[in-house]
Protein backbone atom coordinates (compact mmCIF):
# COMPACT_ATOMS: atom_id res chain seq x y z
CA UNK A 1 0.00 0.00 0.00
CA UNK A 2 1.41 3.46 -0.86
CA UNK A 3 2.45 5.79 1.94
CA UNK A 4 0.27 8.56 0.50
CA UNK A 5 -2.80 8.47 -1.72
CA UNK A 6 -4.16 11.53 -3.51
CA UNK A 7 -7.57 12.50 -2.22
CA UNK A 8 -8.08 15.89 -3.94
CA UNK A 9 -5.80 18.26 -5.85
CA UNK A 10 -6.69 20.99 -3.38
CA UNK A 11 -7.61 23.94 -5.57
CA UNK A 12 -11.28 22.97 -5.12
CA UNK A 13 -12.37 20.73 -2.27
CA UNK A 14 -15.62 18.96 -1.40
CA UNK A 15 -17.70 20.57 1.32
CA UNK A 16 -20.99 19.54 2.92
CA UNK A 17 -23.20 22.62 3.06
CA UNK A 18 -24.71 23.56 6.42
CA UNK A 19 -27.44 25.59 4.64
CA UNK A 20 -28.54 26.45 1.11
CA UNK A 21 -25.97 28.56 -0.80
CA UNK A 22 -25.83 30.17 -4.22
CA UNK A 23 -22.79 29.95 -6.47
CA UNK A 24 -20.23 32.58 -5.43
CA UNK A 25 -21.08 32.53 -1.73
CA UNK A 26 -18.07 33.01 0.56
CA UNK A 27 -17.84 30.55 3.44
CA UNK A 28 -15.25 29.60 6.07
CA UNK A 29 -13.89 26.07 6.26
CA UNK A 30 -13.03 24.12 9.39
CA UNK A 31 -9.32 24.77 8.88
CA UNK A 32 -9.97 28.53 8.93
CA UNK A 33 -9.55 29.17 5.22
CA UNK A 34 -12.00 31.06 3.06
CA UNK A 35 -13.90 29.19 0.36
CA UNK A 36 -16.04 30.22 -2.60
CA UNK A 37 -18.98 27.94 -3.42
CA UNK A 38 -18.74 26.76 -7.04
CA UNK A 39 -22.47 26.19 -7.73
CA UNK A 40 -25.88 26.34 -6.07
CA UNK A 41 -26.28 23.77 -3.30
CA UNK A 42 -29.03 22.75 -0.86
CA UNK A 43 -28.48 22.23 2.85
CA UNK A 44 -26.67 18.92 3.42
CA UNK A 45 -25.50 18.69 -0.19
CA UNK A 46 -21.87 18.22 -1.17
CA UNK A 47 -20.42 20.94 -3.35
CA UNK A 48 -17.02 21.93 -4.72
CA UNK A 49 -15.55 24.94 -2.90
CA UNK A 50 -12.70 26.99 -4.38
CA UNK A 51 -9.84 27.63 -1.95
CA UNK A 52 -7.40 29.16 -4.44
CA UNK A 53 -7.76 31.61 -7.31
CA UNK A 54 -8.52 35.28 -7.91
CA UNK A 55 -12.09 36.40 -7.29
CA UNK A 56 -14.03 39.64 -7.45
CA UNK A 57 -15.67 39.91 -4.04
CA UNK A 58 -18.28 42.41 -2.84
CA UNK A 59 -16.51 45.23 -0.96
CA UNK A 60 -17.31 47.66 1.84
CA UNK A 61 -17.78 50.94 -0.02
CA UNK A 62 -16.44 53.26 2.70
CA UNK A 63 -12.86 52.05 2.24
CA UNK A 64 -10.08 52.59 -0.27
CA UNK A 65 -8.27 49.30 -0.93
CA UNK A 66 -4.62 49.36 -1.97
CA UNK A 67 -2.85 46.50 -3.76
CA UNK A 68 -1.15 44.17 -1.22
CA UNK A 69 -3.75 45.00 1.47
CA UNK A 70 -4.88 42.15 3.69
CA UNK A 71 -8.62 41.64 3.29
CA UNK A 72 -11.06 40.02 5.68
CA UNK A 73 -14.59 38.81 5.07
CA UNK A 74 -17.19 40.74 7.05
CA UNK A 75 -19.54 37.85 7.82
CA UNK A 76 -22.49 39.98 8.92
CA UNK A 77 -22.38 42.21 5.80
CA UNK A 78 -21.14 39.55 3.33
CA UNK A 79 -18.46 41.92 2.03
CA UNK A 80 -14.68 42.12 2.15
CA UNK A 81 -13.16 44.58 4.55
CA UNK A 82 -9.73 45.86 5.68
CA UNK A 83 -10.26 45.03 9.35
CA UNK A 84 -11.27 42.10 11.53
CA UNK A 85 -13.97 43.22 13.95
CA UNK A 86 -14.09 40.36 16.48
CA UNK A 87 -17.32 38.59 15.51
CA UNK A 88 -17.37 35.99 12.70
CA UNK A 89 -14.99 37.79 10.35
CA UNK A 90 -12.13 35.78 8.83
CA UNK A 91 -9.09 36.26 6.60
CA UNK A 92 -10.02 36.30 2.91
CA UNK A 93 -6.81 37.04 0.98
CA UNK A 94 -4.71 39.81 -0.53
CA UNK A 95 -5.96 42.67 -2.71
CA UNK A 96 -4.51 42.64 -6.22
CA UNK A 97 -5.65 46.02 -7.56
CA UNK A 98 -6.50 49.56 -6.47
CA UNK A 99 -10.14 49.94 -5.46
CA UNK A 100 -11.68 53.36 -4.79
CA UNK A 101 -13.94 53.93 -1.82
CA UNK A 102 -17.02 53.85 -4.01
CA UNK A 103 -16.11 50.63 -5.81
CA UNK A 104 -18.42 47.75 -4.94
CA UNK A 105 -15.95 44.92 -5.59
CA UNK A 106 -12.31 44.08 -4.88
CA UNK A 107 -10.11 41.61 -6.72
CA UNK A 108 -8.80 39.17 -4.12
CA UNK A 109 -6.09 36.50 -4.27
CA UNK A 110 -7.93 33.96 -2.15
CA UNK A 111 -6.22 32.70 1.03
CA UNK A 112 -2.89 34.28 0.03
CA UNK A 113 -0.95 36.51 2.45
CA UNK A 114 0.99 39.54 1.11
CA UNK A 115 4.74 39.08 0.67
CA UNK A 116 6.50 41.85 2.61
CA UNK A 117 9.86 43.10 1.32
CA UNK A 118 10.53 44.85 4.62
CA UNK A 119 8.75 44.11 7.85
CA UNK A 120 8.98 42.69 11.32
CA UNK A 121 8.39 39.10 10.18
CA UNK A 122 11.78 39.11 8.42
CA UNK A 123 13.55 40.12 11.64
CA UNK A 124 14.34 43.45 13.27
CA UNK A 125 17.02 45.14 15.34
CA UNK A 126 16.28 47.22 18.41
CA UNK A 127 18.03 50.13 20.11
CA UNK A 128 17.24 50.83 23.75
CA UNK A 129 18.07 53.91 25.83
CA UNK A 130 17.78 53.42 29.61
CA UNK A 131 19.52 53.81 32.96
CA UNK A 132 17.73 51.80 35.63
CA UNK A 133 14.54 50.76 33.87
CA UNK A 134 14.04 48.15 31.19
CA UNK A 135 12.16 49.07 27.99
CA UNK A 136 11.62 46.07 25.73
CA UNK A 137 10.87 45.27 22.09
CA UNK A 138 9.65 41.74 21.45
CA UNK A 139 8.12 40.01 18.47
CA UNK A 140 4.33 39.73 18.53
CA UNK A 141 3.07 36.82 16.47
CA UNK A 142 4.65 36.17 13.08
CA UNK A 143 4.51 39.71 11.69
CA UNK A 144 4.33 42.09 14.64
CA UNK A 145 6.27 43.72 17.45
CA UNK A 146 5.40 44.96 20.93
CA UNK A 147 7.19 47.96 22.53
CA UNK A 148 6.94 48.59 26.26
CA UNK A 149 8.38 51.03 28.81
CA UNK A 150 8.99 50.37 32.47
CA UNK A 151 7.52 52.82 35.00
CA UNK A 152 10.91 54.32 35.79
CA UNK A 153 11.33 58.08 36.01
CA UNK A 154 14.06 58.39 33.39
CA UNK A 155 14.62 58.99 29.71
CA UNK A 156 13.78 55.80 27.81
CA UNK A 157 13.64 54.86 24.17
CA UNK A 158 13.03 51.57 22.34
CA UNK A 159 12.45 50.76 18.68
CA UNK A 160 12.17 47.97 16.13
CA UNK A 161 13.83 48.55 12.75
CA UNK A 162 13.31 45.86 10.11
CA UNK A 163 16.43 44.16 8.79
CA UNK A 164 15.43 44.24 5.13
CA UNK A 165 15.23 47.51 3.24
CA UNK A 166 14.07 49.05 -0.05
CA UNK A 167 14.47 52.20 -2.10
CA UNK A 168 11.82 54.89 -2.20
CA UNK A 169 11.57 54.26 -5.96
CA UNK A 170 10.57 50.58 -5.45
CA UNK A 171 6.82 51.37 -5.55
CA UNK A 172 6.39 50.79 -1.79
CA UNK A 173 3.09 50.40 0.04
CA UNK A 174 3.41 50.05 3.81
CA UNK A 175 0.82 48.43 6.09
CA UNK A 176 0.72 48.78 9.89
CA UNK A 177 -2.08 47.36 12.03
CA UNK A 178 -1.54 49.21 15.29
CA UNK A 179 -2.98 48.91 18.79
CA UNK A 180 -2.08 51.35 21.57
CA UNK A 181 -2.55 49.24 24.69
CA UNK A 182 -1.37 51.92 27.15
CA UNK A 183 -0.42 55.37 25.93
CA UNK A 184 0.83 56.49 29.31
CA UNK A 185 -0.29 59.26 31.58
CA UNK A 186 1.78 62.21 30.42
CA UNK A 187 2.82 64.13 27.33
CA UNK A 188 6.36 62.91 27.95
CA UNK A 189 5.89 59.88 25.67
CA UNK A 190 5.84 59.73 21.86
CA UNK A 191 4.88 56.83 19.58
CA UNK A 192 5.87 56.68 15.91
CA UNK A 193 5.62 54.09 13.14
CA UNK A 194 6.19 54.11 9.40
CA UNK A 195 9.18 53.88 7.07
CA UNK A 196 12.60 55.44 7.62
CA UNK A 197 16.24 55.17 6.56
CA UNK A 198 17.38 54.60 10.13
CA UNK A 199 16.58 55.35 13.73
CA UNK A 200 17.49 57.95 16.37
CA UNK A 201 18.46 57.74 20.04
CA UNK A 202 15.77 60.12 21.26
CA UNK A 203 13.61 61.70 18.55
CA UNK A 204 11.93 59.99 15.59
CA UNK A 205 11.35 63.38 13.94
CA UNK A 206 15.13 63.90 13.83
CA UNK A 207 15.52 61.06 11.27
CA UNK A 208 16.24 62.89 8.02
CA UNK A 209 14.37 60.56 5.62
CA UNK A 210 11.05 59.14 6.82
CA UNK A 211 7.28 59.05 6.63
CA UNK A 212 5.57 58.26 9.89
CA UNK A 213 2.41 58.38 11.95
CA UNK A 214 2.74 59.90 15.43
CA UNK A 215 1.01 60.04 18.80
CA UNK A 216 1.99 62.61 21.43
CA UNK A 217 1.90 61.24 24.95
CA UNK A 218 -1.56 60.42 26.25
CA UNK A 219 -3.38 62.42 23.58
CA UNK A 220 -5.47 60.48 21.08
CA UNK A 221 -4.80 62.81 18.11
CA UNK A 222 -3.09 60.94 15.28
CA UNK A 223 -0.44 63.04 13.51
CA UNK A 224 1.60 62.53 10.34
CA UNK A 225 4.94 63.92 9.17
CA UNK A 226 7.66 63.29 6.59
CA UNK A 227 11.13 64.35 5.54
CA UNK A 228 12.93 63.45 2.30
CA UNK A 229 16.20 65.10 3.32
CA UNK A 230 15.16 68.46 1.91
CA UNK A 231 11.44 69.04 2.45
CA UNK A 232 10.56 68.55 6.11
CA UNK A 233 6.80 68.34 6.69
CA UNK A 234 6.32 68.89 10.41
CA UNK A 235 3.67 67.07 12.42
CA UNK A 236 0.16 67.69 11.11
CA UNK A 237 -3.04 66.51 12.79
CA UNK A 238 -4.80 63.97 10.54
CA UNK A 239 -8.07 64.80 12.39
CA UNK A 240 -8.33 61.10 13.28
CA UNK A 241 -8.54 60.22 16.98
CA UNK A 242 -7.51 56.70 17.93
CA UNK A 243 -9.16 54.58 20.63
CA UNK A 244 -6.86 52.98 23.18
CA UNK A 245 -7.09 49.19 23.00
CA UNK A 246 -8.74 49.15 19.53
CA UNK A 247 -6.59 48.17 16.51
CA UNK A 248 -6.51 50.55 13.54
CA UNK A 249 -4.86 50.25 10.13
CA UNK A 250 -2.34 52.80 8.87
CA UNK A 251 -1.12 52.61 5.27
CA UNK A 252 1.51 54.62 3.40
CA UNK A 253 1.27 54.57 -0.39
CA UNK A 254 4.59 55.88 -1.72
CA UNK A 255 4.20 54.79 -5.34
CA UNK A 256 4.14 58.51 -6.21
CA UNK A 257 7.15 59.71 -4.22
CA UNK A 258 6.37 63.36 -4.92
CA UNK A 259 2.96 63.07 -3.23
CA UNK A 260 2.84 60.20 -0.77
CA UNK A 261 -0.70 59.20 0.19
CA UNK A 262 -1.62 57.98 3.68
CA UNK A 263 -4.71 56.16 4.92
CA UNK A 264 -6.29 55.24 8.24
CA UNK A 265 -8.77 52.36 8.14
CA UNK A 266 -9.05 52.80 4.38
CA UNK A 267 -9.78 56.56 4.49
CA UNK A 268 -7.21 58.96 3.06
CA UNK A 269 -5.86 61.60 5.45
CA UNK A 270 -4.11 64.88 4.59
CA UNK A 271 -5.25 64.70 0.99
CA UNK A 272 -4.18 68.22 0.05
CA UNK A 273 -7.49 69.77 1.07
CA UNK A 274 -7.41 68.72 4.74
CA UNK A 275 -3.65 68.98 5.24
CA UNK A 276 -0.19 68.89 3.77
CA UNK A 277 1.07 66.36 1.25
CA UNK A 278 4.10 64.30 2.23
CA UNK A 279 7.05 63.73 -0.07
CA UNK A 280 10.02 61.43 -0.59
CA UNK A 281 10.96 63.07 -3.88
CA UNK A 282 14.71 63.32 -3.30
CA UNK A 283 15.14 60.57 -0.71
CA UNK A 284 18.09 58.40 -1.69
CA UNK A 285 18.56 56.12 1.31
CA UNK A 286 17.46 52.57 2.01
CA UNK A 287 14.13 52.59 3.83
CA UNK A 288 12.89 50.05 6.36
CA UNK A 289 9.73 49.49 8.38
CA UNK A 290 10.06 50.99 11.86
CA UNK A 291 8.19 51.31 15.15
CA UNK A 292 9.65 53.79 17.65
CA UNK A 293 8.75 54.80 21.24
CA UNK A 294 10.45 57.47 23.34
CA UNK A 295 9.90 59.40 26.57
CA UNK A 296 11.57 62.15 28.55
CA UNK A 297 12.43 61.73 32.24
CA UNK A 298 9.02 60.67 33.53
CA UNK A 299 7.63 57.58 35.23
CA UNK A 300 4.86 57.10 32.68
CA UNK A 301 4.61 53.55 31.34
CA UNK A 302 3.68 52.66 27.78
CA UNK A 303 2.63 49.60 25.81
CA UNK A 304 2.34 49.75 22.03
CA UNK A 305 1.74 46.90 19.56
CA UNK A 306 2.14 46.70 15.81
CA UNK A 307 0.06 43.57 15.20
CA UNK A 308 1.48 43.37 11.71
CA UNK A 309 3.84 45.72 9.96
CA UNK A 310 5.36 45.37 6.54
CA UNK A 311 6.05 46.95 3.17
CA UNK A 312 5.27 45.46 -0.25
CA UNK A 313 7.32 46.65 -3.21
CA UNK A 314 6.71 45.98 -6.91
CA UNK A 315 8.17 46.26 -10.38
CA UNK A 316 5.47 48.69 -11.53
Q: What is the CATH number of the domain that holds 76?
A: 2.40.300
Is residue 3 situated within a structural domain?
Answer: no
Domain's final residue, options 73, 91, 110: 110
72 lies in the same domain as 126: no
Phi, psi of 206 (to 5 degrees): -85, -10
61 lies in the same domain as 179: no
pLDDT value of position 40: 98
Question: Are residues 47 and 38 in contact, defined by beta-carbon separation less than 8 angstroms?
Answer: yes
169 lies in the same domain as 307: yes
Is residue 1 situated within a structural domain?
Answer: no
Domain's final residue, options 52, 83, 110: 110
Domain that holds residue 305: 118-312
125 lies in the same domain as 253: yes
pLDDT value of position 274: 58
pLDDT exceeds 90 at position 237: yes
- Give the pLDDT mean for 130-148: 91
154 lies in the same domain as 234: yes
**Total tally of structural domains belonging to the chain:** 2
Q: Which residue has the higher pLDDT, 278 or 212?
A: 212
Q: Counting beta carbons within 10 angstroms of the beta carbon of residue 243, is it exposed (0 to 12), middle (13 to 18) or buried (19 or more)?
A: exposed
142: left (phi over 0), alpha (psi -120 to 50) or beta: alpha
| Model confidence band, residue 279 (pLDDT cutoffs 50, 70, 90) | confident
How far from 226 is each of 13, 39, 230, 269, CA to CA, in Å? 48, 50, 10, 14
Domain's final residue, options 110, 144, 169: 110
pLDDT exceeds 80 at position 308: yes
148 lies in the same domain as 294: yes
131 lies in the same domain as 274: yes
| Model confidence band, residue 9 (pLDDT cutoffs 50, 70, 90) | confident
16 lies in the same domain as 156: no
Q: What percent of the chain has pLDDT over 90?
A: 78
Residues sharing a CB contact under 8 Å with residue 112, sequence separation 6 or more, in sequence order? 52, 93, 94
- Give the pLDDT mean for 8-20: 93
pLDDT value of position 276: 67
Is residue 143 situated within a structural domain?
Answer: yes
pLDDT exceeds 90 at position 186: no
Amino acid sequence: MPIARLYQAGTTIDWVADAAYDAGAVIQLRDGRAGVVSCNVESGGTVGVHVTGQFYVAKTTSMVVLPSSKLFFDHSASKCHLLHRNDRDFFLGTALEDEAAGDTEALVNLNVQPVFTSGFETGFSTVRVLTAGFPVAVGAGREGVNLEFSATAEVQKVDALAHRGFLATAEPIAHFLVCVNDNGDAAAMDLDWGIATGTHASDFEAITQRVGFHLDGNTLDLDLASDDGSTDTTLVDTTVNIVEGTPFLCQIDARDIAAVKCYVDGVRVLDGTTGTLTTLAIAAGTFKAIAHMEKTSDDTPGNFSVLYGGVCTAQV
